[in-house]
Amino acid sequence: MPPETEAPKPKRLQLFHDELPKEHEDPLIGILHRIIRLGVKVLAVLMVFVILWGIFDVIYVLYQQLISPPFLLLEVGDIFRLFGAFMVVLIAIEIFINIRLYLGTDVLPIQLVIATALMAIARKVIVLDIETVSAEYVFAIAAVVLALGVTHWLVARKQ
């Protein structure tokens, strides 16, 4: 179809927030909102440093594990610790994306926040030592995973 006759694409449902509008009728509140937004920008910069630090930490730990005897071999426990470190970096990246979306669009990224929480609980499941935790703890994590999964599904379905 030629571009001039294309049907408009339906807009996705977006949840807008106005907790920190850039302009406010009270000048003091407007200044405070700008200060908080500046604080969020500082957090974004700090999160980038945390991500870089995490990447270097993963590289260093992997290097240390590979050069210690037996050389170039990793045990299962080492691999799970590395998986946990990788997941921490990925969670930090997701948090940075949440901050960036918050700053750039004024859209409350509910689905992304839920996905970040799912990733964090998935990390917990991956590094969980089933022999050292109680059954109640495992059931509690399962309940959190189920609740977040259902919430993610419902939010995705609504959008």
- Residue 9 in any domain: the answer is no
- Residue 11 in any domain: the answer is no
- Residue 12 in any domain: the answer is no
- Residue 149 in any domain: the answer is yes
Provide the Cα torsion 46, 50, 56, 60; round to 10°. Answer: 140
Mean pLDDT of 98-118: 81
Helix (H, G, I), strand (E, B) or coil at 16: strand
Number of domains in the chain: 1
Q: What is the pLDDT of residue 29?
A: 86
Q: Where is 65: in which H helix or E strand?
A: helix 27-67
In the chain, which ranges are E strands?
none
Question: Is the Cβ–Cβ distance between 125 and 87 less than 8 Å?
Answer: no
Q: The domain containing residue 87 runs over which residues?
A: 23-158
Q: What is the pLDDT of residue 80?
A: 82
Residue, of 5 and 115, whose pLDDT is higher: 115
Give the Cα separation of 54 and 85 in Å (integer): 8
Give the Cα separation of 154 and 159 in Å (integer): 9
- Residue 15 in any domain: the answer is no
Question: Is the Cβ–Cβ distance between 99 and 47 less than 8 Å?
Answer: yes
Q: What is the pLDDT of residue 130?
A: 83
144: confidence class by pLDDT, cuts 50, 70, 90: very high
Q: How is residue 42 written in tokens?
A: 């500082």
Q: What is the pLDDT of residue 37?
A: 84
- Residue 125 in any domain: the answer is yes
What percent of the chain is predicted at pLDDT more than 90? Answer: 35
In this predicted structure, the answer to whether residue 64 has a pLDDT above a threshold of 70 is yes
In this predicted structure, the answer to whether residue 75 has a pLDDT above a threshold of 90 is no
Q: What backbone torsions phi and psi does residue 143 show, to the nearest 5 degrees?
A: -65, -40
- Residue 95 in any domain: the answer is yes
- Residue 5 in any domain: the answer is no
